[in-house]
């Protein structure tokens, strides 16, 4: 078994003779994400856009022979499971997966297909108990729509609160996470809302409802897109928001096509590259969270949006330093964007911030104070930089009223979308590469992912940070970000003056 040059993703699912769902949709999706798709067919369905005439489940030995043959040569980086036609198939797949996952832990995404878009039942009755007992404990994520959630939970899910309760119930049964899709009903008119329940944490992903009939295969496409992203190394939340955007793009761009007399297939239109296709991450502190039962009455501060923009969308070289002395040395070299990040503040913290602000005014710097937003306000700083963990504890309203600029750290698509909800003065994306300053190995972006994120916000101030050396800087600058943040690449250089000039030449080229 040789390592593949591209991630291998398996689809264990049914074949849709109409070409809109099942393995046909999965293979198109895998290809759009640059993955190699393999299939183990569970059933050959006879269907078109208006009805399902027959579901011909394959014998168990035929199903297992497909899986065993794939395992010997095409070991997966992720697995998507779709239609399992009967309890015997559920048990057989669960047994196979249990042995496979002992060889190597790989992500498993299960779309519990039960009903076709035409309304026809696709599975034998009574398989829910077998799914819960044998399959769910092996899955990293299941992606039921609300009807499928009701079947598995055995309870109605007509409200946001009941959806959350059912998701909690199934996670308690052994599944790691659920993404409950909202395409089969609106909690708020005009909005399609998906709930991600993961490790006791809820996230609502809100998208605009796209009118049209070409929505066959959306569930298959979503789950296979998530599996592809997981195979590419994306964290779960990143995988979910990218997959949701992929489906939204397919609904929007494919709505004009006419295929068949009924519900046509959702479009498979390539990587989602427009921000309008990505969901809003619902924040507990905003007013509309009440409609989803998501409002947090314990929130100390109200939701604030729209911070003062900097004088340019391209902030240039952005050194992050730990002392006032370094601020002054770099300001003297013509660096205009700087951050003071004091890791171990002492009793003279206020004096350091006051000194930094004075230097900022003298040299007309875009000077951001890391973390200490109260002192930044009191001392009249240009701006403040916050991490994701600070967004719920900092008084963003006070920062906004004081006229300070705000920068926010992000690590991937999910956090970028979340931070963008606040419309800060800039967004920092990291870590691009391995860095010595902190362990960010679980959140490395690389230049390909950075370029995809930068394309979503082409005119927005973006800063790339993390492990960016002079040799790597040209590739980072080519992604479209207007600023490169550095730490040791300047302050640890043998000749910091020369390092500043070389970085500035790369960024301004």
Q: How far apart are CA 23 and CA 217, in angstroms?
A: 10
Largest CA distance in the chain: 78
Q: How far is CA 350 from CA 329, 330, 353, 376, in A?
A: 20, 21, 5, 9
Residue 278 three-state SS: coil
22 and 48 Cβ atoms separated by less than 8 Å? no
Q: Which residues are annotated as a binding site?
A: 339-343, 370-371, 390, 409, 435-438, 467, 487-488
Residue with tokens 């779709």, as numbered in its chain: 82
Q: How many CB atoms lie within 10 A of CB 474?
A: 11
Q: Which residues are annotated as a binding site for Mg(2+)?
A: 371, 390
Q: How far apart are CA 117 and CA 215, in angstroms?
A: 8
44 and 66 Cβ atoms separated by less than 8 Å? no
According to DSSP, the β-strands at 177-180 and 462-465 are: unpaired
Q: What is the DSSP string of 286-303?
A: SGGGGGGT---TT-SS--
Q: How far is CA 390 from CA 394, 395, 396, 410, in A?
A: 6, 9, 10, 12
Residue with tokens 């519900």, as numbered in its chain: 263
423 and 305 Cβ atoms separated by less than 8 Å? yes
Q: How far apart are CA 251 and CA 366, in angstroms?
A: 42
367 and 383 Cβ atoms separated by less than 8 Å? yes
Phi-psi region of 338 (alpha: psi -120 to 50; beta: other; left: phi over 0): beta
11 and 40 Cβ atoms separated by less than 8 Å? yes
Q: What angle do CA 237, 242, 246 make, to 5 degrees?
A: 150
């Amino acid at each position: 078994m040789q390592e593949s040059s591209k991630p291998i993703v398996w689809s264990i699912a049914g074949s849709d003779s109409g070409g809109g769902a099942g393995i046909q949709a999965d293979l198109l999706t895998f290809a759009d994400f640059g993955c190699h798709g393999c299939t183990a067919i569970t059933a050959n369905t006879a269907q078109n856009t208006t009805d399902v005439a027959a579901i011909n489940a394959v014998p168990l030995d035929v199903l297992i022979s497909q899986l065993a043959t794939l395992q010997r040569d095409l070991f997966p980086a992720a697995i998507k499971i779709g239609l399992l036609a009967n309890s015997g198939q559920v048990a057989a797949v669960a047994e196979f997966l249990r042995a496979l996952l002992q060889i190597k832990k790989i992500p498993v995404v299960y779309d519990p297909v039960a009903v076709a878009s035409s309304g026809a039942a696709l599975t034998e009755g009574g398989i829910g108990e077998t799914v819960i007992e044998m399959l769910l404990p092996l899955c990293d994520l299941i992606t039921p729509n609300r009807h499928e959630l009701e079947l598995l939970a055995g309870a109605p899910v007509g409200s946001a609160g009941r959806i959350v309760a059912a998701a909690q119930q199934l996670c308690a049964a052994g599944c790691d996470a659920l993404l409950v899709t909202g395409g089969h009903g609106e909690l708020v008119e005009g909005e399609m809302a998906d709930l991600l329940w993961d490790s006791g944490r809820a996230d609502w992903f809100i998208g605009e409802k796209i009118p049209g009939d070409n929505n066959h295969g959306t569930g298959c496409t979503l789950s296979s897109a998530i599996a592809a992203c997981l195979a590419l190394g994306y964290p779960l939340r990143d995988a979910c928001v990218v997959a949701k955007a992929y489906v939204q793009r397919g609904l929007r761009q494919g709505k004009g096509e006419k295929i068949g007399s009924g519900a046509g297939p959702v479009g498979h239109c390539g990587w989602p590259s427009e921000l309008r296709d990505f969901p809003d991450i619902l924040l507990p502190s905003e007013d509309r969270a009440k409609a989803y039962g998501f409002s947090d009455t314990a929130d100390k501060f109200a939701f604030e949006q729209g911070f003062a923009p900097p004088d340019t969308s391209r902030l240039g070289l952005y050194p992050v330093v730990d002392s006032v002395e370094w601020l002054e040395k770099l300001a003297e070299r013509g660096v205009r964007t700087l951050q003071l990040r004091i890791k171990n503040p002492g009793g003279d913290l206020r004096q350091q911030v006051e000194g930094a602000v004075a230097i900022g005014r003298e040299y007309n710097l875009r000077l951001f104070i890391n973390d200490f937003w109260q002192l930044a306000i009191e001392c009249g700083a240009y701006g403040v930089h916050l991490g994701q963990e600070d967004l719920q504890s900092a008084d963003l309203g006070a920062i906004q009223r004081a006229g300070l600029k705000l920068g926010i750290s992000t690590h991937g698509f999910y956090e970028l979308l979340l931070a963008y909800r606040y419309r800060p003065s800039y967004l920092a994306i990291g870590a691009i590469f391995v860095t010595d300053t902190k362990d960010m190995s679980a959140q490395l972006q690389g230049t390909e992912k950075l370029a995809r994120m930068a394309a979503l916000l082409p005119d927005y101030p973006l800063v790339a940070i993390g492990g960016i050396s002079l040799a790597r800087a040209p590739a980072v600058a080519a992604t479209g970000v207007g600023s490169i943040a550095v730490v040791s690449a300047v302050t640890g250089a043998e000749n910091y003056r020369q390092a500043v000039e070389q970085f500035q030449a790369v960024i301004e080229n």
